[in-house]
Structure 1
Amino acid sequence: MHKDDQQYMEAYDKLLECWLTLLENSSKFPDGFFKAHATQIFNLHLQCHLAAPDGLRNQREDGVTAEDDDDINEVEEDDRELFEDQLGSIGALGRAVPEHSLPLLSKILEDRVACLQSHLLKLQHHKTGVASTHNMDLDMKKLHRLYEDLHWLLLITGFILANESKGETPMIPPAIMKFSIAESSHVDVQKTLHALTSSVNITQPFLVDDKVDKVVRLTSVVLRLAEVERQASSDLAEVLSPQVGRSVVWCLRRWLLPYLLLHEKYYSEISLPINTAFGQDSQGGQWVVDRLLQKVLTNLIVWSSEHELAKDTIDLMVSIVDRKDKAIPATRSESYWLLAKLHSSKPSKLDALSLDVRACLMQALVMAGSCIADNTPERQRFENEILHPVQHSFQELLHGKDFSSVALEEDVKSQVAHLLSLLKGVIVGTQVNRASDLFNFCLPMLRDSVSLLRIYHNYSDIVEQVLEVFVEVAMHQLCFLTQAESMKMYEVSLALLQAYSEVNRGRISVEALAEEEQYRDLSLMMELLSSLFSRDMFVFLDDEDVNSAIESSDIVLHGLNIVVPLMNESLLKFPILCSEYFKLITFICELFPNKIALLAESLFNNFMASVEVGLTEYGSDVTKMCLDGLSTLASHCIDTELKDGALFRAMEHFTEVVFKVVLMQTFDMDLMSAASEALYTLICCHQAKYTKLVNVLLSSQSDPSICQRLAEAFSKLTPTAEPLQLVRKSKVQFLSRLETFLFNVRGFLCIK
């Protein structure tokens, strides 16, 4: 079915959902009951995405094929995202009949790859003057149709062979594993390995043999296509399809997550051919890693200016090295070290890569290199060729005697942005076992980054990069540092926040994007403060001196003192920033109420003013967070028998605020539980204030009957015979009484 047939798309998706529901309940039907139906649906879907004569793509009702949409390079939306649900359904249907879908896909892909090789050979001959040019236009049209066939075949293959595994251990789909196990009795493992390794010998035909495992055969075809692309890119890159290139590396990445160097312990049963080809210490494991890294290397050189393809390619590399058992084979590959050399060279064939791709490349290089054992030549090589060039470049540029005079030149700004992206890559690539080493490696550059923020405070892109670097340190390294190292991080973070505050306080800009830029900056700072704060909750090192130093909450509170004055009403209208800000405030209230009581007067006033505004101005989620925070602070006053001080007086003020919000204003009843607990806790903390508020309200009533109704309602809400206690039973009773109270009298209270 073509993507532009929107009239029937929704109905088609609904039908697929129905079939999936039936498949999920297939155990309630006779064995194999749905196989014929799954086969038919799979075949029809495949036909709808293949060009004639094998398929029906773009065919009109009169049987003529429309040529307008064959060029897939102009597609605005990514098919694998646009049709994700549909492809997921087809993948599940294909796995229901693997004995049909896997050989069929292999056969069609083998045919299309052979056709691609033939077309590329013709184009090569034309380029060298060997062939005539009279049919070149026709050949290019055929090539475009062929590319779209390959694109859809790769998407379908990826969704059949593997499932999305976000947040879970990637596993080979049970249906695929079960099928391969069932077939293994008549599979020749050596022929299967030969089919795998010969896939990159593109001058030889495909090894088509029933003794070859069907899963490995399909994987081999994708590897053959990747190799055809790789070899053709040196002379024929201009006729290759970036979209197909993206689909190839996406399919390989989706496949490798569950298959490459798989762990036997994750499976109750495992296929011998698959395990022999791709398992731990397998003959094919290192070979596949080498081939994938060769593909990564070529893609990043040839397609460096194609951002989406380069990004998909670097995502493939990150997935190759995301586990130690895969990272170690990667560091044995020559392609890894060639990438490292290109990455640190000046100039380099990778210079056209975008900053985010360069950061991800550094991340992948560091992830792999972090798994190299200490005191080995490879470890020294990793430090010399990957880490030290970054540090040297920082020192050479930022500490040069003329840096301040040339800092604002475009070329220098580009160098700074490039170095910050590399630093971010090092940080994001940090593995737990290297967190301390890499933090100390990055620390001098973090300090330099504070200076960069002062110099480039008028350049939002560099400011944002600096803030992102600090956020990544807090997220990827901080929890694994010693207390002494954490203190260094706190110090440099405070220096950063202070620098930002100094260069931005009172600043007025007429630029239309200025407010949005400040929103992004403050969002990153909120994220930084939250991550610093989390250090007290998630510490993974046993540090004997953990109690001898200040806590991260102290740093966060000081950070808030810097950030809060920069906040304003218009900035808090950005939902994400508003949510992050009040979430942080609530966490501090709940986990460290003792710190609030000790705040400096100006910060304390700012803090409490934020809570008061949050009660009414920014929606129910923020209101709930503020109510929860007040409950905790009032409880702290009661538990510590606090009878004086700024916090105690603030709770007296909030007793009146919450009293009016809950009882006398329009109020979201979905917040009843949080509001009840906050009001009850504040009443327990300031009983005299509550009594005064009730009396003032009663005395303000001009109608005696209403006054009488209110007096009776309040006497039932807080009976004098029952003591006010912060126990669960009392809180539950108060919630019930408050609901009754509001039902009976809130209407005329709000009207008044």
Structure 2
Amino acid sequence: MEAVEEACLAFAAGRTTAERQAAESVLHHFKQSPQAHADSIHLLTHSAVPMAQFHAVTTLCELSLLERVSVSQRKETIGFLLHHATSSSSMPSFVASALISTIAILIKRNWLQESPTDRTAILSHITQLASSSSNTPSNLVGIKLLLAFVTEMRGASDKKTRAMFQPVAFHTSCRQALEKDGLVQILALAVHLITHQPSPQALEHVYLLTVELLQWFEAPSDSTSILLAVDPRWKPYLVQASFVQAIFQAYTTHRSHGLWSHTIRQVLILLASVTGSIFDSPDHHVAYITWIFHGALFIFHHPLPSNVEREVIDMCQLTYRLVSNWSSLNDPALADPLVSEVARLSCLLLQSALQEADEDGGEVWQMEGLDVLMDAWSLLTAPFATAALPPPPTIQAASAQVVRLYLQVRLRLVCRSDDNDAEEDEDIELNVAKTLEEQLGLVASLARLNAPQNLSLCLSLLVETANERRTHTTKSLDDESFRHVLDKLHFVILFTGIVIADEYKGEKPAVPWSMEATLSVVEQLVHGVLTLLAEEIQAVQVAPQRESPYLSEQLLSTATRLHVTYFDIFPSKSADMVALYCQSATVYLTHWYMQPHVIQNVVELLLALPKTPAAVGLCMQSAQFQWLTHSILAVQGALLYIPSQRRGLMCEALVRIIVPDAPDQLAPFVSEWHRCLDMMTQSSTTTHSHIQVESILELYAGLARSSESRSFAAVEPLVLPWFPLLLRTLETFQSVPSIVPLVLKCACDFVEANLAYLSLDKAMDLYGHCDRLIGTFCVTNSVTQRSAISDDELQFEDMFMLLTLLSHLVAKDVIDFADDTANSAGVVADVVFSGLNQVIPLMTHDLLQYPKLSVQYFTLVSYLVDVYPDKVVRLNPSLLHQLLQSLVVGMRHTNTDIVRYSFQSVGELAACQLRQPTAASTGLLGQFIPVVLQMLVFEAAAAVVVDGAALALYSLFLVERPNIESIAHAFCAGMDSPLQDTMMHALGQLMHSLPPAQPQTAASVGHARKHRAHFKAQMYAFVAHVRGYVQIK
């Protein structure tokens, strides 16, 4: 015992590495000892070293979870630990917590094997402890044990399945068994303890137990509901005014205690979410909501200054739950009081935020609470989202009050951070912008319910901030005060656009109904934004270095919103609007072509024009648009210095505008591209010609992407004849890293946008072109040649484009061929598998480490194996071997989707081999068995791995049934004798769970699901037994 105590002290002290390793060795030897169970009991009861006690508890837990331990042995351990927990009052808290947790885990492990009578007896004993006299060790231990037990039984996770060596199904069955019989009794005790005011020592644990009990009925993680459909049997205990009153009384008593009060608030939040058949009628339901609502009013109106942040945020969450619960009933009785209190709480938060907005630091905490309240507002205002039901005066008044305060706070906040001082991670910026825009969308919905006042407010802010910018003394981006003015103007433009044009991305955007009565103000707002855009492009034209791209991005984005929503509403301004758009595109492309976000917004603005046919006609009549078209599409156009990728994006936007009105206008440009590219494939290559080739390929890709149902007939004759030239381009420039992926990109873009519209004959021609293109790429990019390319990023880009092309080609097999008379679907498979034959050797282990590339590859392989398993198993043996090796990599991937795809593919290949044995794959699939066994037994496998492995191993064992014994001996060869014997015995038992060998008849197929389920259960038992033995051994 002394040696273990010293080792525990040395391990905890964190001295030298050598000392820690020596201590770890002693502790490991202690666990491996045949007397480890008895020694752990002795150590727990006699040692005065807390770390030694803790080690004894964890050892008892691990030993008692082993498969070979009987139910009665486990019960003896539970009895000993429970007696020790109630009789020993000197244990440190971390030891006592581990002890309680271990008892709960062991009770759960026995639960399904206990008889109903024994289960009832166990729960009765624990509840008796919990309901014993207050301030006694037994009372506190009983409550803590109930908390640990309910927490353990509530759900399953990868951590729990690994720790207990039991499948998810075991944990689910335990949960269902307790929910059926026992959970109500635990709830009854918790309610009794709360109603009779537990002792301060037990208070927190009683309320934590109540939280766990209520969270039992939380909706699945993929559900959007926040309400709790509680078991109707809970009604006599939960739906009682005295119970709710007791909780509020406890909160009043312990309100100043931060931790306790937070736990009680969590109970109130969950109680506010209770719904379903637990209520006899809607009136009963409303009465229950009213109890909680009235009880919370005092807290709403009198927040505790010392704990205001946490308390107010929790009250916002409580309010949201109450509103969600009320909205499911749509009872008018509570509508006005709820609106009044949500408005009051919103204003309280915003006024508090205004007071703190001038302080240094990040986002004020009040905005977190407001996020929750805006969700509540969305529910309260949902009935008035259409003109059918006008909002009542209370909603209108609240809208004006809350929106005004919100804009004041936001305009203060945008000045607190200076985006020009430091560059943040782009992904973080995008996430922040997305979150802000979501919140603004909810506030805008509220603002539209009082459009006259709130639009007038937006107009005054827009005019005021624009004038502030015009009259600023420096107008320099180096001046912080000027940057703050730009930040405020950016925000006002963003919010204005969301309010008056919320849903602008649909095919036919509609004007919000609430705008119809205030179109005069809307027209002024549209005019104000477009005037600012005109001023901005004029300033950029004069001195681009003095202007902020940040503001231009927002002006262009809002102009897009306004165009698609209001272009047809204000026809008198249509010509000026189109002229402004063309001028904007010209100025920004000329002066800010290196600003990617600005150019992207220019492209999106032009892409929006075809949604309004009148705008297309005006564009075609515009001399500036014609100049812009020639400058972008002509090989030697005035804007040829623009980066080729952005030029391609502009090409797509321009073509979408041109095709509906004058498709013939494109032919000369496309012919010029073809002629120039043809010449460059026949002449010597230079750096200048490489740049020109890249530009032409990007233009072609933009043309290909522009195709859609209404323009395909005009675009297809221009694009399809290019494929032979693409092939020659790839052959000529095979050694130019920047051109190769562009050729593949052109093919990808055309196939993705046009393949679904092609006739059968043309589709077959396209498949032939793609087959030759893929073959050319693979020949000129063999493994040997690619190994000379040191840049992994270039290899990644090439392979990603190639896999994307194959995926698009496969999609055609799903889309049509209903009228196939020429075995065209077979041609699709042949082309795709021809490509797969050539791609597999190029997919190196290093390339498979790229997540994006790996997902693309394994998604494609999984689909092909699922649809064409017979073709996969008939691949060239060496290619099949490489494919299978890549699946081994996929099984060990960190991405769970890739792991699942890999196991599915292996299982399907084995099932295909079982149905139609082929000589080529004989023996190859057996290599997966030791790999999977290694993962299951010696590695920490997640539940998704174990489930996938079960399905794969079932078919693998059936295929390799004659060779299993030799495979098992080879797998166990390096193990010591005891482990080898245990492993061989366990594998033998697992093999016995397979169905008897028989032909794959209809009858056997009908029983396949039953056999697989039985095998899966046995495999979990195998993993639990063998992995547990390995860990102890």
If the length of structure 1 is used for normalisation, what is the TM-score? 0.75
Q: Which of the residues 570, 589, 598 maps onto 2:865?
A: 589
Q: Which of the residues 749, 752, 758 maps onto 1:472?
A: 749
Question: Partner of 1:43 in structure 2?
Answer: 404
| Aligned residues of 2:775 and 2:838 also touching (Cα < 8 A) | yes
| Aligned residues of 2:704 and 2:753 also touching (Cα < 8 A) | yes
1:646 aligned partner, one-letter code: A
Partners of 2:1013 and 2:959 lie apart in 1 by 17
1:216 correspondence with 2:570: no
Cα offset, 1:5, TM superposition: 7.3
1:18 correspondence with 2:372: yes
Cα offset, 1:518, TM superposition: 1.0
Change in Cα spacing, 1:545 to 1:146, as seen in structure 2 (3 Å) is same
Question: Partner of 1:131 in structure 2?
Answer: none
Partners of 1:666 and 1:72 lie apart in 2 by 47
Larger radius of gyration: 2
Question: Partner of 2:85 in structure 1?
Answer: none
1:177 correspondence with 2:507: no
Residue 599 of structure 1 aligns to a residue in which SS? coil
Change in Cα spacing, 1:750 to 1:582, as seen in structure 2 (3 Å) is farther
Change in Cα spacing, 1:88 to 1:701, as seen in structure 2 (3 Å) is closer
Per-residue CA deviation, residues 301-334 of structure 1 (Å, 9 max, x unaligned), is 4544544323321221112236778656654655
2:912 aligned partner, one-letter code: H
Partners of 1:615 and 1:4 lie apart in 2 by 54
1:426 correspondence with 2:703: yes
Residue 25 of structure 1 aligns to a residue in which SS? helix
Q: Which of the residues 393, 414, 421 maps onto 2:673?
A: 393
1:399 aligned partner, one-letter code: M
| Aligned residues of 1:523 and 1:577 also touching (Cα < 8 A) | yes
Q: Which of the residues 474, 494, 497 maps onto 1:155?
A: 494
Cα offset, 1:396, TM superposition: 3.0
Per-residue CA deviation, residues 203-236 of structure 1 (Å, 9 max, x unaligned), is xxxxxxxxx2x33332222122223345566556
Change in Cα spacing, 1:379 to 1:595, as seen in structure 2 (3 Å) is same
| Aligned residues of 1:71 and 1:148 also touching (Cα < 8 A) | no
Cα offset, 1:637, TM superposition: 3.2
Q: Which of the residues 1013, 1027, 1030 maps onto 1:732?
A: 1013
Partners of 1:534 and 1:225 lie apart in 2 by 46
Per-residue CA deviation, residues 644-695 of structure 1 (Å, 9 max, x unaligned), is 4213543455456546655676543333332222222233344333466568
Note the 1:474-623 alignment, pairs <5 A: 474-505=751-782, 506-507=784-785, 514-539=791-816, 543-545=819-821, 547-548=823-824, 550-616=826-892, 620-623=896-899
| Aligned residues of 1:38 and 1:94 also touching (Cα < 8 A) | no
Cα offset, 1:617, TM superposition: 5.7
What is the percent sequence identity of the aligned residues? 20
1:317 correspondence with 2:606: yes
Change in Cα spacing, 1:349 to 1:118, as seen in structure 2 (3 Å) is farther
Partners of 1:96 and 1:238 lie apart in 2 by 39
Residue 350 of structure 1 aligns to a residue in which SS? coil
Q: Which of the residues 608, 632, 640 maps onto 1:351?
A: 640
Change in Cα spacing, 1:160 to 1:81, as seen in structure 2 (3 Å) is farther
Cα offset, 1:359, TM superposition: 0.8
Residue 642 of structure 2 aligns to a residue in which SS? coil
Cα offset, 1:290, TM superposition: 5.2
Q: Which of the residues 342, 345, 353 maps onto 2:631?
A: 342
1:628 correspondence with 2:981: no
Question: Partner of 2:456 in structure 1?
Answer: 103
Q: Which of the residues 401, 404, 417 maps onto 2:694?
A: 417
| Aligned residues of 1:596 and 1:647 also touching (Cα < 8 A) | no
| Unaligned runs of at least 5 residues, structure 2 | 1-353, 384-390
Note the 1:5-154 alignment, pairs <5 A: 7-9=361-363, 11-26=365-380, 39-40=400-401, 42-47=403-408, 82-97=432-447, 98-113=451-466, 146-154=485-493
| Aligned residues of 2:533 and 2:555 also touching (Cα < 8 A) | yes
Query: RMSD over aligned Cα, in angstroms?
Result: 4.2
| Unaligned runs of at least 5 residues, structure 1 | 60-68, 120-134, 193-211, 262-275, 373-377
Cα offset, 1:415, TM superposition: 1.3
Question: Partner of 1:670 in structure 2?
Answer: 944
| Aligned residues of 1:307 and 1:354 also touching (Cα < 8 A) | no
Q: Which of the residues 727, 738, 741 maps onto 1:461?
A: 738
Cα offset, 1:248, TM superposition: 0.9
Per-residue CA deviation, residues 235-277 of structure 1 (Å, 9 max, x unaligned), is 566655433222210111233455555xxxxxxxxxxxxxx44
| Aligned residues of 2:414 and 2:484 also touching (Cα < 8 A) | no
Between the two proteins, the alignment pairs up a number of residues equal to 658
If the length of structure 2 is used for normalisation, what is the TM-score? 0.56
Partners of 1:607 and 1:562 lie apart in 2 by 11
| Aligned residues of 1:680 and 1:734 also touching (Cα < 8 A) | yes
Cα offset, 1:470, TM superposition: 1.9
Partners of 1:139 and 1:530 lie apart in 2 by 48
Cα offset, 1:24, TM superposition: 2.5
Cα offset, 1:466, TM superposition: 2.0
Note the 1:238-257 alignment, pairs <5 A: 240-257=547-564
Per-residue CA deviation, residues 175-224 of structure 1 (Å, 9 max, x unaligned), is x824224xx3xx6xxxx6xxxxxxxxxxxxxxxxxxx2x33332222122
Change in Cα spacing, 1:732 to 1:678, as seen in structure 2 (3 Å) is same
| Aligned residues of 1:171 and 1:258 also touching (Cα < 8 A) | yes
Partners of 1:5 and 1:412 lie apart in 2 by 57
| Aligned residues of 2:474 and 2:482 also touching (Cα < 8 A) | no
Change in Cα spacing, 1:225 to 1:635, as seen in structure 2 (3 Å) is same
Per-residue CA deviation, residues 351-385 of structure 1 (Å, 9 max, x unaligned), is 3432222111110122223324xxxxx333x23xx
Per-residue CA deviation, residues 3-45 of structure 1 (Å, 9 max, x unaligned), is 9977341624412312213312326999565666654554345
Partners of 2:418 and 2:509 lie apart in 1 by 35
1:650 correspondence with 2:939: no
Change in Cα spacing, 1:454 to 1:696, as seen in structure 2 (3 Å) is closer
2:952 aligned partner, one-letter code: A
Q: Which of the residues 906, 913, 918 maps onto 1:637?
A: 913
Change in Cα spacing, 1:721 to 1:633, as seen in structure 2 (3 Å) is closer
Change in Cα spacing, 1:436 to 1:178, as seen in structure 2 (3 Å) is closer
Cα offset, 1:592, TM superposition: 0.9
Residue 815 of structure 2 aligns to a residue in which SS? coil
Note the 1:688-727 alignment, pairs <5 A: 688-690=962-964, 702-703=977-978, 706=982, 710=986, 713-714=989-990, 717-718=993-994, 725-726=1004-1005, 727=1008
Question: Partner of 2:683 in structure 1?
Answer: 404
Partners of 2:671 and 2:723 lie apart in 1 by 11
Change in Cα spacing, 1:346 to 1:7, as seen in structure 2 (3 Å) is same
Q: Which of the residues 585, 600, 612 maps onto 1:296?
A: 585
Change in Cα spacing, 1:35 to 1:722, as seen in structure 2 (3 Å) is farther
| Aligned residues of 1:297 and 1:339 also touching (Cα < 8 A) | yes
